[in-house]
């Protein structure tokens, strides 16, 4: 079943954007929204934050951008500010960046995501004051520039 799902996602991602969406979504977008997730380590907890990104979409499927996230991780009771690049093709993508926690810890964050533009499911890791897994949902409102 996993192989069938993977093949279906790869096939959808390989389609040009106009075939997937029925219209041309090319352009530059400012995306602002919420980061709702959970952290998974010795002490699982909530991850709540806001994210702002600038993304350039191409009708052929590729996209590239920059993101800034401010989030609170309940398991460590710290705020985290992360900035970095994001890149993808079709529905799939990755992002990652440098982070600093409110306690002064430097680290990073890396995520793989499945996105339909205004909503993205992600799985990734945060590291710095200890490594932990993160799973969540980004809900963003696009503003075409």
What integer pLDDT is reported at residue 18 of this predicted model? 43
The set of residues, in sequence order, having a beta carbon less than 8 Å from that of 140 and lying 6+ positions away, is 31, 32, 33, 34, 51, 53, 117, 118, 119, 120
The set of residues, in sequence order, having a beta carbon less than 8 Å from that of 13 and lying 6+ positions away, is 61, 89, 90, 91, 92
- pLDDT digit string (tens) for 15-66? 444 444 455 678 899 999 999 999 887 778 899 999 999 999 887 789 999 9
- pLDDT digit string (tens) for 101-135? 998 999 999 999 998 878 999 999 988 877 789 99
Q: What tokens were used for 132? A: 């932990």
* pTM metric for this prediction: 0.77
**For position 67, which CATH number holds?**
2.40.160
Total of domains in the chain: 1
Structural domain harbouring 115: 2-144
Q: What tokens were used for 52? A: 């702002």
The residue ranking higher by pLDDT, 76 or 34, is 34
Containing H/E element for 16?
Answer: none
What integer pLDDT is reported at residue 108 of this predicted model? 94
What integer pLDDT is reported at residue 22 of this predicted model? 55
Question: Predicted confidence band at 142 (pLDDT cuts at 50, 70, 90)?
Answer: confident
């Amino acid at each position: 079943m996993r192989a069938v799902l993977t093949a279906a996602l790869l096939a959808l991602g390989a389609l040009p954007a106009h075939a997937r969406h029925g219209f041309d979504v090319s352009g530059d977008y400012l995306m602002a929204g919420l980061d709702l997730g959970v952290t998974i380590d010795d002490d699982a907890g909530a991850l709540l934050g806001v994210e702002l990104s600038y993304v350039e979409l191409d009708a052929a499927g590729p996209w590239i951008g920059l993101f800034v996230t401010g989030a609170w991780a309940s398991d460590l009771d710290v705020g985290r500010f992360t900035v970095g690049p994001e890149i993808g093709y079709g529905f799939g993508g990755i992002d990652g960046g440098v982070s600093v926690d409110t306690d002064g810890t430097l680290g990073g964050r890396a995520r793989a995501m499945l996105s339909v533009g205004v909503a993205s499911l992600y799985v990734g890791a945060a590291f710095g004051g200890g490594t932990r897994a993160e799973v969540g949902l980004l809900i963003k409102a696009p503003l075409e520039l």
